[in-house]
Amino acid sequence: MKGLDDERLLLELADEAKDEATANEIAQSLSKMEAAVDKMEFARMLSGPYDRQGALLSINAGAGGTESQDWAEMLQRMYMRWAARRGFSCELLDIQPGDEAGIKSCTMGIEGEWAYGYLRAEAGVHRLVRISPYDAQARRHTSFASVFVYPDIDETVKVEIDDKELRIDVMRSGGAGGQHVNKTESAVRITHLPTGIAVHCQSERSQHKNRATAMRILRSKLFEVEQKKMEDKMGGIHAQKKAIEWGSQIRSYVLAPYRLASDHRTGIKIHNVDDVLDGDLDPFMVAMLLLLAGDPSAKPVVKRDENDGDEV
């Protein structure tokens, strides 16, 4: 932006001339211009019709048993920590505990302005490399888990669901719980027969509440399917969006033999994996969203390690 560059040059000249009054005036003008540019960039990055909505985020462990199930639970914590950092509310809508540790799957509802806009950059397969805490020989293991993100649409968005196309099964809730949770058929699974989409909910003691939550999740998933069909017909899917489908590895988190979180779409690499796993995801999200928005300046970024100053 030429005006911004001109103001910066004038500020440097004023500093050299020891003209404090002019320097302060230019600095204020520069701050206003930078804020305006940031606002424009934000608007371009989050310009989707449902970006302002809350989000439903589902995590599913990949093949690999306990290793992948533990990794899925680590991802669950990572996204809950990200939501907390932003002041968003996070509700665990459904969870399927792992056989020995971790989780097989979970679905979270994250409420906050622009939650879906940011989180849609996270959809895809996430890979973990570490020394397994479950391997007596302390060998290195690679685990995978998938993340799916849907807009948490409200009642004003119409999604036609024919009750005749639904199969509703009730069952006893699994996993750890009190006396009530495992002795009554409160868990609900709803299958949409035409698409084969199935959702499960057992987080509440009430079968009625679990059914309502399952329908909420199903509506969002069906809405996403219809949106994708429309985009396919219009040929408007950005090339990068293909990289966030199931089966594509979007990011690796390496804990051994070195420590590095690396996004394979944008090229961003961050040494401090602990911060990333603690919810510091904004550098990855913003870079990917700018890429999806078609920003020609959104190039791979290398983030310096704060501990040693080396490029990673």
What CATH number is given to the structural domain containing 210? 3.30.160.20
Does residue 6 lie within any of the structural domains? yes
Does residue 294 lie within any of the structural domains? no
Quick one: pLDDT band at residue 191, thresholds 50, 70, 90? very high
Q: Point out the domain boundary residue: 186, 210, 234.
A: 234
Domains held by the chain: number: 2
Please list, in sequence order, all residues whose beta carbon lies within 8 angstroms of the beta carbon of residue 281, skipping any fewer than 6 positions away.
78, 82, 122
Mean pLDDT estimate for the chain: 80
Which contacts of 202-209 are long-range, i.e. CB under 8 A and separated by 24 or more positions?
202/94, 202/95, 202/173, 202/174, 202/175, 203/92, 203/93, 203/94, 203/95, 205/180, 205/181, 207/170
- Greatest mean pLDDT among 136-145, 177-186, 269-278 lies in 269-278
Assess contact for 290 and 166: CB atoms under 8 A. Answer: no
Does residue 136 lie within any of the structural domains? no
Does residue 75 lie within any of the structural domains? no
In Å, the largest CA–CA distance within the chain is: 80
Cis geometry, peptide bond prior to residue 257 (ω within 30 degrees of 0): yes
Quick one: pLDDT band at residue 241, thresholds 50, 70, 90? very low
Residue 118 has pLDDT above 60, yes or no: yes
pLDDT 10s digits, 278-297 = 999 999 999 999 898 876 55
Task: Look at residue 78 in the predicted model and tell me its pLDDT.
Answer: 98
Written as six digits, the tokens of 185 are 């058929």
Average pLDDT over residues 95-108: 93
pLDDT 10s digits, 208-217 = 888 888 888 8
Please give the residue range of the domain that contains residue 23.
Answer: 2-45
Please list, in sequence order, all residues whose beta carbon lies within 8 angstroms of the beta carbon of residue 302, skipping any fewer than 6 positions away.
267, 268, 269, 311, 312
Task: Look at residue 155 in the predicted model and tell me its pLDDT.
Answer: 62
Does residue 40 lie within any of the structural domains? yes
Does residue 26 lie within any of the structural domains? yes
Roughly what angle, to the nearest 10 degrees, separates helices 20-45 and 2-16? Answer: 160
Does residue 96 lie within any of the structural domains? no
Q: How many CB atoms lie within 10 A of CB 40?
A: 11
Q: Quick one: which H or E segment has residue 5? A: helix 2-16
The C-alpha R_g of the chain, in whole angstroms, comes to 23
Assess contact for 201 and 217: CB atoms under 8 A. Answer: yes
Does residue 70 lie within any of the structural domains? no
